[in-house]
Amino acid sequence: MIATAMLSAFEAFLNDPSAVLPADSINPDPAEFDDSDLSDPALAYLSDDALPCPDTGCIIAVIDDAIPFAHERLRLANGHSRVASIWVQDARCRSGASGSDLPNGIELRGAEIDDYLARARAGQIPGEDAIYRLTGVVDMTRQTTQSTAFAHGHGAAVAMLAAGFPTSDPTGRRHPVIAVNLPPKLTEDSMGTLTPPLLLSSFLFVIHRARRLCRFIEKRQGRDHGSVRLPVVINLSYGVTAGARDGSSLLELFMDAVSQSGAPDLGDIHFVLPTGNGRLERLSGVLSPGDELGWRLPPDDRTMTPLEIWGPTRAGLESELMQIVLTAPGHNPVATAFSGPWQYQTLVSDGAGQEIARAYYTPRLVGDNRWREGITVMINPTCPERLGEPFAPPGNWRIAIAGSAPAGEYEICVQRDEVIRGFRSGARQSWLIDPAYRVHDEAGRLILTDAENGGAPKVLRSRTLNAYAGGRRSLRAGAVDAQRRSLISYCSLLHDGQGGDCLAVVDCAITQPGMVVSGRSSGAFGLLSGTSLAAPQLARWLATQLSAGASVTNRSAIRALAETLSETPGPTPVLPALRQFPEF
């Protein structure tokens, strides 16, 4: 039901997705899925020599950008791939192959990947790079960002941390991999406006292919139908900084429903996400009616700037609605006048009468006639792309909750709006301004908690978690440094002030950010940082625990298990450090 509601909410996108996906990636005539994947060798998910033992197996799923499925750490010592299925959502669609049931892109299964790997070993094709080109995953003739051609990428680092094992490690065979390569435009869209429908379809793909893989194992090993029920751990190292953060979005509800109800022919399903990297970015705040905050819009920003306001939960919307007041530099304050849900209005115009700021009233149903009011403010770029286009004045804007608004606490959150190397340029991050917010103490050290800042600033360090990770059952991973095992300064905080449900080592030290991660090619490595690298470590640890027979069905049980193995005493367990490259 949740999935249906979500797809309906994005019906316009699904009918015309060409703004996100290249036109040649769309499948013009999706076929009905049948049982040929259990009998046709060309459609096999894995070779017989790569099948896991159902009693000691756990599927690891990775949803990210540019996952290098031919990497040696996704193979076994016998040369066979551990990647049972990967959906490349933006690749040129092909007919008569696996994935013909998908709405766009291509699917590559283990049998096809094995064939390419065997040809590369025989010298018939020149290595991994040729595999990506021959499959169409990299195609320089197409007008799209060729992220899989990048030497170092987010998806490569995340996938190897979650599911990469040395070929000599027999543990790898316990963990078949299902993956989804998201379109590059989703990475470019740091605001997350394009993300929900494609993430939902990715979740559905992973669950469906996990079920088919279990049926495939039964077929190949002569087991009874329904007897193989592998658990699934899904890593999603994506996130946004604006949202209700209360578990009420359709994505969060879907993840909660799947984790709670599962699938009748699978084991437990767990979602793992990063807590986020915005603790000190001044993107979150709280206000009461009559209060206001400054909002700094930098110059030379060629992208829209969004901000969200979320009010307290209330019964019904018949009484006085939430209203805000926005003041642009050089303009008079303008108040909203919403009279009902899903309205919008122009708040600020330039001297020529062209709109430069708009507000949308978007309340969200969070229970039985219980609503949470929301307003989204969108500001034009401060640097226009072309002469004559309206642009917003940079500088200190002000946003306030109207005094007539219902009493309670109103959360203010600025959306992530930054340059993403290789994908996006021209973005400049805005931030909130509170005179009581101090960045450093008198000794010049960073102030890391609201309590250290005096206890009651309007701009917060707590409640800065990834807005996709506010559900009741998703696992949130935070990051610590290797030297002191202390929470890294950028690691976002949950509502209770903790850095996550479990913590993982990412940075070398507080003065030396980054960890060694795998590059796109076998043997390549690089340095990256962020809680995106903590989440796959938690996913990997959880998958190994499940494959060893651990019985953990919810967040509390997983945290309790992690506490028994934690390397560092404290309120949040720290997972054993993952050493991908012991030689360094």
Cα 298 from Cα 383, distance rounded (Å) = 10
Which residue reads 């303008």 in tokens?
Answer: 334
pLDDT in tens, 233-264: 999 999 999 889 999 998 999 999 999 998 88
- Residue 1 confidence (pLDDT) above 60: no
pLDDT in tens, 439-452: 999 999 999 999 99
Please give the model's pTM, rounded to 2 decimal places. Answer: 0.93
Within 10 Å of residue 119's Cβ, how many Cβ atoms? Answer: 14
Choose among 470, 472, 476: nearest CA to 491: 476
Mean pLDDT of 575-579: 83
- pLDDT band for 316, please (50, 70, 90 cuts): confident
Interacting residues of 584 by C-beta distance below 8 A, sequence separation 6+:
516, 525
Q: Which pLDDT value is given to residue 419? A: 66
Mean pLDDT of 280-309: 93
Which residue reads 């359709």 in tokens?
Answer: 250
- pLDDT band for 557, please (50, 70, 90 cuts): very high
Cα 121 from Cα 179, distance rounded (Å) = 24
DSSP characters over 214-283:
HHHHHHHHTPPTT-----EEEEE----S-S--SS-SHHHHHHHHHHHH--TTS--EEEEEE--S-TTS--
pLDDT in tens, 174-227: 999 999 999 888 777 766 677 888 899 999 999 999 999 999 999 999 999 989
pLDDT in tens, 141-174: 887 777 777 878 899 999 999 999 999 999 999 9
Q: Which pLDDT value is given to residue 461? A: 93
Mean pLDDT of 284-311: 93
Choose among 150, 459, 29: nearest CA to 286: 459
Mean pLDDT of 558-579: 86
Mean pLDDT of 119-137: 91
- Residue 422 confidence (pLDDT) above 80: no
Query: Can you list the domains of the chain with their CATH numbers?
Result: 1-279+464-584 (3.40.50.200), 284-453 (2.60.120)
- Residue 86 confidence (pLDDT) above 80: yes
- Bridge partners, 28 (sequence order): none
- Residue 364 confidence (pLDDT) above 80: yes
Q: Which pLDDT value is given to residue 12? A: 45
Q: Which pLDDT value is given to residue 456? A: 72
DSSP characters over 1-55:
-HHHHHHHHTHHHHH-GGGTS-GGGB-SSPPPP-GGGGT-GGG-SS-GGGPPPGG
- pLDDT band for 120, please (50, 70, 90 cuts): very high
Percent of the chain with pLDDT over 90: 61
For the chain, what is the mean pLDDT?
A: 89
